[in-house]
Every structure is written in C-alpha cells, then in structure tokens.
Chains A and B, each alone.
Chain A
Amino acid sequence: MTADVRETAEPVLEVRGLRTALHIGGTQLYPVDGVGFELRSGETVAIVGESGSGKSMTALSLMGLLPNRIAKVVGGAALLQGRDLLALNPKAMRELRGVEISYMPQDPVSALNPALTIGRQVMEPLLVHRKASRDEAESRAVELLGNLGIPNLPASLSAYPHQLSGGMRQRVLLAMSLIGRPKVLIADEPTTSVDVTTQEQIIDLLWAIQRETQLGIVLITHDLGVVARIATRVLVMYAGRVVEYGEAEEVFERPMHPYTRGLLQSVDFDEVEPRTRLFALDGNPPQLADLPSGCAFNPRCAHRVQACMEVVPELASVPGSQSLSACLLAAQGLLTPASGGPVTGND
C-alpha cells in the first residue's frame, strides 16, 4: 500500500476556508462557505452534493471562472503546489488554466464550439499557451484522442461536435482538459449526461489516466455510485458548507452526518424489499436566500435537538471515526449507528 506515502506527500492542491459571495438583488449570499480539502497527486477527491449545495460554485471559484459581476471569492486560499490561485490576477490565472489545472465542464453540448472541428478545439490549449507547434499539437491530439477511444484518427480531427455521439463528445472534452498535461483536473459531473455503459467507460478512462500520470482529480458529482468507484476522499456539501469530509471507505461505511446517512440510505435498494417504501429524507434542500438558523440541515434531520436550531456546527472530528463531521451530535459521539438507522454496508 502507498498509504504512508500519501500521508506524507505534499498535497498538489490545498484549499482552505474558501468563501464565495453572490450578490443578487441587493442581498449577499454565500454559495460556498468555508470549503477546504487536500488533494494529492494520483488521488481523487469527490465533492458530493445536490443542486444548490455549492459544488459547482466551488469549482468555478477555484478556476477563476465565476461570473464576476455577481460572484466573487471573498475568503480562503487555494494553493496549487504552493501558489495561491485565489490571489492570482486574471492574466496569471489564464496562464495556468489548461496546463497546470484544468476544468472539465458539465455539459459537452454547450462546452464545445459547434462551428469548430474537434481537432482545433482539442489542440487549442497547447496553441494558446504556445506549448507546442501546430504539428506537435496535432500529433499529441491524435495520440490523446486515440487513447480515449476516438476512432478513425487523424480523420476524426476534422469532425464537428454534432457528428459525434454524447459519449464521444465527452471524450473530446476530456481530451481538451488533459492535453496541456495539468496536475489537477476538476471534472464537473463528467458522467451525468451519458448512458450508464458509457459512464463506466469514462470513469475507467479517468482511472487509467490517473494511474499513468498521477493526475489529481476533483470530481464533482451527485452520483454516489460513481464516487464509490473512484474517490479516495469524499467531501459532502450541503447549503454551501462541508458537512462531512473523510476517506471514501470510511464515509460510506460509517457516515457521520445525518445528511450523508440519509443520502446513502435513500439509494441503497438492496436494504429494502422490492416494491416497498424506500428510505427518503423529508423536505427539500434549502434555498440559500432562506437558510434555517443553526444547522442548515436541521429541518430535515431526524436527530435534531434544540441546539441544532441555534448553533451553526463547525466541521470537527468525531470520536471513534477518522472523518470530520459538521454535526453537533456526531462531535459528541452521540450519532451512533444505532440512533441513525442502518448504516450502509456495515455488516
């Protein structure tokens, strides 16, 4: 095992206390509020959450791609091999994007330019950053696209996005993100818009590339199965805050936040008889403009006590667990499997 190496290796990306403000209609909201994690080379940190939880805003904040009229990073640090991305000016950030840290956006249809060939789009990061001549860029594009399973190369370089299937477009996006040989890839829902058999292929490709190049991956997803397949560590977000953070196996086997538990239980079809009611979390994810006081999850929480409605819990260690949890009860060791219902896979 390389666990010891991992423990001691310097993180390639270290995010601390990231806070992003959103100005809408005269009010200030915090879609990302105190997010932090460490990513080492060759590892995958999965950011899990529902719509509005702040996972995509976290990615955009790190990449310097926030819509700058309404959103702004107001706190924290994001050290990419020691350099704080959040302190860089737009020009300096542009120099890094695609070559040191890449972003793979969610929707291949809107992320690809329909009027340009895929070859041109895949080569672009190299040409823009003058990292390669046109010939070199082309041969690297052919090699990379070939590794990613695009057939008929180099002829396919002159194909347009609409001529490709959804799965092929996803591979092209991945090639665009990887051609500059970044150290970190932030992939936003890379498998959401594709079929399940294609999803498996994309995840296996990411896995293979990671093993070969020691790429650090920040995987943003709502799909807990995908997380289980590829993540080293998991960060669970709810209403802009991290509610649980830990090693993937630990989080899945012994979830230490009621929200994480509820999510895992609600997708565990094996624990329920077919055609009987599933475990379901009550209520809906909160609106940022209308957060409850105290813990944002408290209106949906089966374990809530008075303090949960008064105190915003900090991410803290949990007795008997290696994970961090932002739950007052967990921090006091009161959130045991017995009180939290069946814990997935804990047999």
Chain B
Amino acid sequence: MVEPSSGDERGVGDQPPLLVADRVTKTFLARRGALGRKVEVTAVSQVDLQLDRGETFGLVGETGSGKTTLGRLVLGLEKATSGDVKLNGVPIDRFSRAQLKQMRRRVQVVFQDPYESLNPYMTIEEILEEPFRIHGLYHKTETGERIRELLDLVGLPRSALRQPPGQFSGGQQQRIAIARALSLGAELLVADEPTAALDVSIQAQILNLLMDIQRERGMAMLLISHNLLVVRHMSASLGVMYGGRIVETGHSEDIYRHPKHPYSIALLSAIPVANPRRERERQRVKISGEAPDPAKLPPGCPFHPRCWLAVDRCRTERPELRPVGAPGQQVACHLAQ
C-alpha cells in the first residue's frame, strides 16, 4: 500500500521505499513585469511523498500548482532548492555519474503531447532503439526482439516499425511514447497528463494500457493530472496540490468520498458530471478567483483568498498537513475536521 508519507520512511519489508520526497522545495528566479525585475517563484514548497514499488500515486492540481515541477524534480530534471528526492533510500543529488545513468533507465517519463516528444524524422524502430543505443545496450537481434515485444505490449502492429510518428493518430503516438519509456525496464514511470491531449474515446484506452502494463511489469507510477476523476480511478493514494504545496493527501477513495480541504471540496464540485439529471440535482460549492500565480503566493494559507471558510489565522499562518478524517488522510487547513 502507498501510505502518504508522514516522515518515517518504511518501505515494504526491509527495503526503503522506491521513491521518497522529503520536504522538497523548488524556487526559481523569474523575470516578471514590464521592468523585468527578478522575483522568486516558489513552484514547490515542502512536499513530502512516498511511493512503493508497483504502486501509483496521483498528483492533482491546476495550472501553477507545482505538480509538473514536482514531477521534474522526481525525474532529476530539476534540482531541489532544499529537501531531498530519494530513490531506493539514496538522495538523487548524491548519485554518482554511474548511478545517475542507471536512474535514467529506471525512472522514465511520458508527457502530455506525444507529437512533441517523438522525433518526426525518425522511424518508430529508430525511436524505440534509441534508449538501447544511448545506454550501450544495443544488440541487433536481441534489441529487435525486445522492440517487437514492446509493440505487442502497447498494442501496435509490427508494421509500425518502418513508419515515422506522423503516420499515427495521437493515441497511437502516445502508445509509442509509452513503449519507449518502458524499453529499458523502468521501475518508476512519471506520467504527466498522459491523456490530456487525446480524444475522449482514446483516453480510456491509454489509461487501460497503463494499468495493464503496471499489472504485468509491476512498475510504480507517479500520475500527474488536472483531472481528479482520472487520478482517483488510477491511483490508490493521491495528493491535491495548490500553490506549490500538497494541501490534502490520503487514500483516493477517502478524498473522493469525503474531501476535507476546502480546495479539494471545490475542485470536486467544479467537475461536471456527464449526466444532466445528476448534474442538476447535485449540490455545488462555487469559488471565485483563480489559482494563484506562484510568484505572488498570498501569505498564510495559499487558498485563503478563495476560501469561504477563511478566518484571520488563515491569512497569516500557513497550515501544515495534519491528520484529519480517515486513517492516512492529511489536510493542510486550520479549520478542517
């Protein structure tokens, strides 16, 4: 089971958990405004999370919530300003070159837009061979065999090998990107909005594929999405991000059935139900305003300017995650109970 991290890092048995984020913070310096003044942008602030082998943890949030930056920190594409990202108990900052190269095999990513992430001038065969070549693992017959297995795994015909990605639909391109990510036996897949660019009828296909592959190969997945329904379906546990922080975390069903943070409540309420009768009958909680610019986070609780419950304390004192509700559920709200 994935337990939302509470600081103690116990994995399955004696092994450390596959992935741990320990008070991870990332700030950027960005130029803002007409004068181009440098301002500090806190993209991710003091985030803890833990993911065990074979499990899925979902990160939900809107634009600027920090979910993508957190994914990039986990991938080692960004270096944490403070705190540690640990793989198998070792902080990735302290990896040797050899360990880093190994990490690149074991931690892989699938992005939102497959069209942007596949080289249009390469054939599918070349795209799938590339990871083997980069890691010095290319072997003509063995690699060919592996690539055909990968195509079977993601449900593409062998005839695809000779064609460039442009010959394929968005859903098929995403299958190719997934095959590439898994080619060297990834233990952890970071899937950043893997279905957001796809047609409605294709989304379920790709989500099914990710679940099937996970069952077959036992890889862990960090699923990043703006869609709470998708995240809830795919992951046993999730974290709701707002203003760079995880504001609620716990088992997905608990959060879906009984969200405790006002933002989680509002987010769930905002998702329209694809049924006019149910949509009309259900109660909604409406909030005004927009998700905050990470360069201009309000003091106190980042959600307080939009929160209907906010009291003075929320405007000055930043709430920390604390246990509220079901076992394992934690909420960063002074008032939640």
Contact = CB atoms under 8 A, between A and B. Distances in A.
A228 B281 CA distance: 12
A30 B204 CA distance: 28
Interface string B263-281: 0001101111111111100
Given A197-B267, A274-B252, A263 B200 contact: yes
Contact of A224 (B205, B227, B274): B274
Interface stretch (A135-143, A181-189, A245-253): A245-253
Contacts of B273: 225, 228
B30 interface: no
Interface string A258-279: 0000111011110010111111
**Most chain A CB atoms below 10 A, which of B233, B234, B284, B287:** B233
B286 A204 contact: yes
A158 interface: no
A135 to B, nearest CB: 28
Nearest to B291: A195
Contacts of A201: 286, 288
Instruction: Determine the interface band of chain B, counting residues with CB < 8 A from chain A.
Output: 35 or more
A195 B199 CA distance: 18
Interface of B: 56, 62-63, 169-172, 199-205, 207-208, 211-212, 226-227, 229-230, 232-236, 252-253, 266-267, 269-279, 284, 286-288, 290-291, 293
A127 interface: no
Given A50-B201, A224-B200, A280-B208, A198 B290 contact: yes
Contact of B275 (A222, A228, A276, A282): A228
A211 interface: no
Contacts of A166: 63
A278 B212 CA distance: 11
A223 B272 CA distance: 9
Contact of B277 (A223, A253, A264): A253
Q: Which 8 A-B pairs have the closest CB atoms?
A: A225-B272, A280-B204, A195-B62, A50-B199, A224-B274, A266-B204, A200-B270, A278-B204
Nearest to A232: B276
Given A229-B279, A274-B253, A284-B171, A197 B270 contact: yes
Given A277-B208, A300-B201, 19 more contacts: A50-B201, A51-B170, A195-B226, A196-B267, A197-B266, A197-B270, A200-B284, A203-B272, A224-B200, A229-B272, A229-B279, A231-B276, A267-B229, A275-B211, A275-B235, A280-B208, A281-B201, A281-B205, A285-B169
A196 B226 contact: yes
A167 interface: yes
A306 interface: no
B226 A285 contact: no
Contacts of B203: 266-267
Nearest to B197: A51
A225 B279 contact: yes
6 contacts: A196-B271, A229-B279, A266-B204, A268-B274, A269-B229, A345-B275
Contacts of B200: 50, 222, 224, 263, 266-267
Contacts of B229: 267, 269
A280 to B, nearest CB: 4
Contacts of A269: 229-230, 232-233
Nearest to A200: B270
